[in-house]
Amino acid sequence: MITSRLRPRLRERAATPAEAAAPRAKGGGVEGLLAFLGGYLGADALDSIRGACDFGARAHAGQTRESGEAYIHHPLAVARILGAMRMDSRTIVSAVLHDVLEDTDITTGELRARFGDEVAALVDGVSKVSLLEQETREHAEAASFRKMLMATATDLRVIIIKLADRLHNMRTLDSLRAEKKRRVARQTLEIYAPIANRLGMRDLAEELEDMSLCSLYPRRHRAISKRLGEDARGKKSPVNALCEKLGGELRHAGIPARVHGREKSVYSIYRKMQRKKITLRDMRDIHAIRVITETRPQCYPALGLIHRLYKPRPGSFKDYIAIPKANGYQSLHTVVIGPAGQPVEVQIRSEAMHRVAEQGVASHWLYKTETTGEHAPQQLAQRWLSGFLESQQKSLDSGEFLDHLKADLFPDEVYVTTPKGEIKRLPRGATALDFSYAVHTDIGNRCAGARINRRAVALHEALRNGDHVEIITSRSARPHPAWLNYVVTSRARTSIRHFLKQQKEKESFQLGRKLLKQALARQGYRRLRIPSAHKVALLQRLDMKDWTQLLRDIGYGKRPATLAAKQMLAAVQSGGESGGEAEDARPAMVIEGTERLLVTHAACCHPIPGDQIIGVMSGGKGLVVHRATCPRRRQIMRSPDSYFHLAWSDSIKRKFQVPLKMETRNEPGVLAAVSNIIAMHGSNISSVQVSARNNASVMSVTMEVADRAHLEDITKKLRAASCVISLARG
């Protein structure tokens, strides 16, 4: 049975005396945890952990999980998981307190004052970003992952605590509703289990994978588990016999080693079925044998002996000792044909390698002297995190960051060599283009072609183990948007996007500078170079700080060059002293209707010459002209850098549409009388609608006028008409 919660929905109520005492009374509570930890921690460390347990119990008092048990049992269980990994006392304390910032009123400052900076930093790193700080739950989850990995880059214990937290959540998953249970399981399978695998914590990763599969596909999980149970009963003796024979031969050869058999995990079998598109009935190599020698030099003689005894399957040998995996895993892998004709995978590793293979980065805290060096898991994990976070500095948002993280968590890898003989590790499916960015970002940006094994290939050619890759560069070569379809690594994808964005910004800057100079020239501004004082005056007028960004906006089409030119001339003529003026005191720009750009008259207020007007830039509509008394004025004024004070030109000779709303008497001839007044003043009716209301009629008329004076003449006559009760401009 699997059980868990991603984040329990807390039900606040007063804790009963029995519940308050539960953590101490139960064997799995505080006393049980301290007794368990006492196997490797000293008295001072246990005292600090007891203090954290008391603090956490008070903070979580009255809170329960979905299962109904007191909430404090969850952090205690997480601490026990970490205790099984022999983590240090500071990590155990942080595990006990890992939810207090997120689920209680405790602050980081209180934690720092009570438990120190180290614990406060660990707890803060594990705590999620509040949903209130993000637009959606998905954004909050993505932001939380980003925050957690940033903290992990400083201290790996952050992710170890989070993985232990998720492991206990998965063990108690059955208390959640079906929809949330599947969401948690899928997230675990897509992110947490791959992270655990990437950090070399294989035991923890396998448990997360199997429990996730059981929640997502319970029937498939049951079928594979049943097959494994049948095989264990039917083939236990042959596997044991094979282990006994290998153990005897190794002892006879003078190679001290432990040999034991194991079944592959349910999820690893499921993945292999999916990858090879085979049924469970066709699965044959579901058993593996581990040979664990005392020292590293004994691994290779053991391999030679095994190959003499049993025929190896061609192409199945992998040397992860000479070339460790990205997570520090080291072992020799081979597949041999056993006595019954069944393929059996054999893994050969030393005792130190075995501890690293099982615990990964967590092995550092128990076996510090045996896991240091270039290939130590903690060193490789820090290197991976630092490289990943560095490549993601230009990510636009947390969602994009999470997508890149998923793409970077590839369990399968290929190893290729550079022309200098260096080995590069890339995810399976990586292309020559991915390789170029793995060498250096500049090499990728100038990549013009590639040779694999001295054969010219396309940039989207997938790489295979052992390939010799050479990149051909050119000064004229530039990344192309289509390259995003050819790469799988987050480093390559982020670098390409960053270059394309910079290139677009550069082109927009150059275009904006050209358009502004042309617009200034049309206004009679003859300077070849714009003085700094004039630039400052314009930026102050626009409430902007960056001249480069202004030119980019013009180049992008967000800000018309003509309006920017007029604003600069107005600022220069007024001495550029707009910093202390009210917004309404800014000099207006005269518009004549076209200004070499798209001008739209707002339908919400129908401005006409004579009205005080303002303008706002809008995508697809160009400069939208509003009356200064427009109901939308307050909304428009919220963006001072995008609206403009405008004035009408005296040379405008066109008619404008104006709506009028009149309440008239409900009697014959009213429409004719209104139409006659409008016509007598040289105006034309574009549309009219009439509706009855009690003893009156409501007439909506849209007519054409030349300016505000023309409109006032017409409305004055209409108000004087006996049939008109009231009148208002629309």
Q: Give the CB-side neighbour count of residue 69, counting CA atoms within 13 A.
A: 16
The reply to whether 46 and 187 lie within a common domain is yes
Round the CA-based radius of gyration of the chain to a whole number and report it. 37
Q: What is the DSSP string of 43-100?
A: HHHHHHHHHHHHHHHHHTTT-B-TTSSBTTHHHHHHHHHHHHTT--HHHHHHHHTTTH
The reply to whether 25 and 162 lie within a common domain is yes
* Between 156 and 291, the higher pLDDT residue: 291
pLDDT tens column, 76-107: 999 999 998 888 899 999 999 999 988 888 88
CA angle 188, 383, 149 (to 5 degrees): 40
What CA–CA distances, in Å, run from 66 to 176, 181, 215, 302?
7, 12, 17, 52
In the predicted structure, residue 691 carries a pLDDT above the cut 70 = yes
- Which of 179, 197, 216 is the C-terminal boundary of a domain? 216
The answer to whether position 690 is within a domain reads yes
The reply to whether 259 and 337 lie within a common domain is yes
Secondary structure of 639-706 as H, E, C letters? CCCCEEEEEECCCCCCCEEEEEEEEEECCCCHHHHHHHHHHHCCCCEEEEEEEEECCEEEEEEEEEEC
Quick one: which H or E segment has residue 513? helix 490-522
The answer to whether position 105 is within a domain reads yes
CA angle 414, 416, 420 (to 5 degrees): 160
- Which of 216, 235, 258 is the C-terminal boundary of a domain? 216
Contact between 216 and 189 under an 8 Å Cβ cutoff? The reply is: yes
In the predicted structure, residue 185 carries a pLDDT above the cut 90 = yes
The answer to whether position 543 is within a domain reads no
CA pair distance 212, 140, nearest whole angstrom: 22
Question: What do you get for the CA distance between the two ends of the chain, in Å?
Answer: 69
> What number is the average pLDDT over the span 43-68?
91
Name the residue among 302, 304, 290, 288 with its Cα closest to residue 259: 290
pLDDT band of 282, cuts 50, 70, 90: confident
pLDDT at residue 710, rounded to an integer:
92
The reply to whether 140 and 271 lie within a common domain is no
Residue 336: alpha-carbon gap to chain centroid: 43
> What number is the average pLDDT over the span 351-362?
81
Q: Which residues are catalytic?
A: 102-103
The reply to whether 89 and 133 lie within a common domain is yes
Residue 115: which CATH number? 1.10.3210.10
CB atoms within 10 A of CB 112: 16
In the predicted structure, residue 208 carries a pLDDT above the cut 80 = yes
The total number of residues shown for the chain amounts to: 730
- Which of 216, 239, 258 is the C-terminal boundary of a domain? 216
* Between 406 and 188, the higher pLDDT residue: 188
pLDDT band of 111, cuts 50, 70, 90: very high
The reply to whether 211 and 252 lie within a common domain is no
CA pair distance 211, 471, nearest whole angstrom: 44
pLDDT at residue 6, rounded to an integer:
33
pLDDT at residue 2, rounded to an integer:
39
CA pair distance 323, 127, nearest whole angstrom: 36
CA angle 4, 5, 9 (to 5 degrees): 145
In the predicted structure, residue 207 carries a pLDDT above the cut 90 = yes
Mean pLDDT of the chain: 80
CA pair distance 203, 310, nearest whole angstrom: 29
CA pair distance 259, 129, nearest whole angstrom: 47
In the predicted structure, residue 674 carries a pLDDT above the cut 80 = yes
Question: How does 426-465 read in b/e, with b if 16+ C-beta sit within 10 Å?
Answer: bbeebbbbbbbbbeebeebbbbebbbbeeeebebebbbee
pLDDT at residue 541, rounded to an integer:
75
pLDDT tens column, 33-51: 999 999 888 999 999 999 9
pLDDT at residue 620, rounded to an integer:
61
The answer to whether position 58 is within a domain reads yes
pLDDT at residue 362, rounded to an integer:
67
CA pair distance 403, 698, nearest whole angstrom: 58
Contact between 337 and 395 under an 8 Å Cβ cutoff? The reply is: no
Domain range for 684 is 656-729
Least confident of 21-25, 125-129, 348-352, 534-538: 21-25
pLDDT at residue 36, rounded to an integer:
92
pLDDT at residue 359, rounded to an integer:
77
3-state class of 600 per DSSP? strand
pLDDT at residue 390, rounded to an integer:
60
pLDDT at residue 156, rounded to an integer:
80
Q: Give the residue carrying structure tokens 């409501």.
A: 698
pLDDT at residue 97, rounded to an integer:
94
Residue type, 489: T
The answer to whether position 628 is within a domain reads no
The answer to whether position 456 is within a domain reads no
> What number is the average pLDDT over the span 383-397?
58
CA pair distance 618, 643, nearest whole angstrom: 10
State the virtual CA torsion across 34, 37, 43, 44 in degrees, nearest 10.
-90
CA pair distance 333, 325, nearest whole angstrom: 12
Do the bridges between strand 599-601 and strand 622-627 make them parallel or antiparallel, or are there none, so unpaired?
A: parallel
The reply to whether 228 and 210 lie within a common domain is no
The reply to whether 30 and 159 lie within a common domain is yes
Do the bridges between strand 343-350 and strand 332-337 make them parallel or antiparallel, or are there none, so unpaired?
A: antiparallel
Q: Give the CB-side neighbour count of residue 418, counting CA atoms within 13 A.
A: 15
> What number is the average pLDDT over the span 701-716?
91
DSSP state of 256: -
Instruction: Specify the number of domains making up the chain.
Output: 3
Instruction: Name every residue whose Cβ is closer than 8 Å to that of residue 250 and which is 6 or more positions away in sequence.
Output: 256, 257, 259, 291, 302, 305
Contact between 466 and 491 under an 8 Å Cβ cutoff? The reply is: no
Residue 718: which CATH number? 3.30.70.260
pLDDT at residue 435, rounded to an integer:
93
CA pair distance 161, 498, nearest whole angstrom: 33
pLDDT tens column, 578-602: 333 334 444 445 555 444 456 788 8
pLDDT at residue 159, rounded to an integer:
86
Q: Give the residue carrying structure tokens 């008394």.
A: 629
pLDDT band of 393, cuts 50, 70, 90: low
Q: Give the residue carrying structure tokens 């369990």.
A: 411
The answer to whether position 617 is within a domain reads no
pLDDT at residue 93, rounded to an integer:
95
Question: How does 335-348 read in b/e, with b if 16+ C-beta sit within 10 Å?
Answer: bbebeeebebbbbb
What CA–CA distances, in Å, run from 405 to 361, 411, 491, 494, 514?
19, 13, 10, 11, 41
* Between 480 and 254, the higher pLDDT residue: 254
What CA–CA distances, in Å, run from 213 to 178, 183, 379?
14, 12, 31
CB burial of residue 96 (10 Å; 0-12, 13-18, 19+): buried
The reply to whether 226 and 210 lie within a common domain is no
Secondary structure of 397-445 as H, E, C letters? CHHHHHHHHHHHCCCCEEEEECCCCCEEEEECCCEHHHHHHHHCHHHHH
> What number is the average pLDDT over the span 486-512?
83
Contact between 152 and 158 under an 8 Å Cβ cutoff? The reply is: yes
In the predicted structure, residue 211 carries a pLDDT above the cut 90 = yes
pLDDT at residue 386, rounded to an integer:
61
The reply to whether 29 and 176 lie within a common domain is yes
Q: What is the DSSP string of 206-232?
A: HHHHHHHHHHH-HHHHHHHHHHHHHHH
pLDDT band of 369, cuts 50, 70, 90: very low
pLDDT tens column, 600-623: 888 888 999 888 888 877 766 667
The reply to whether 182 and 260 lie within a common domain is no
The answer to whether position 90 is within a domain reads yes
The reply to whether 77 and 44 lie within a common domain is yes
pLDDT tens column, 121-144: 999 888 875 544 445 566 667 777
pLDDT tens column, 232-279: 665 555 677 888 889 999 999 999 999 988 878 899 889 888 877 888
Instruction: Name every residue whose Cβ is closer than 8 Å to that of residue 622 and which is 6 or more positions away in sequence.
Output: 560, 597, 598, 599, 600
Residue 306: which CATH number? 3.30.460.10
CA pair distance 496, 590, nearest whole angstrom: 44
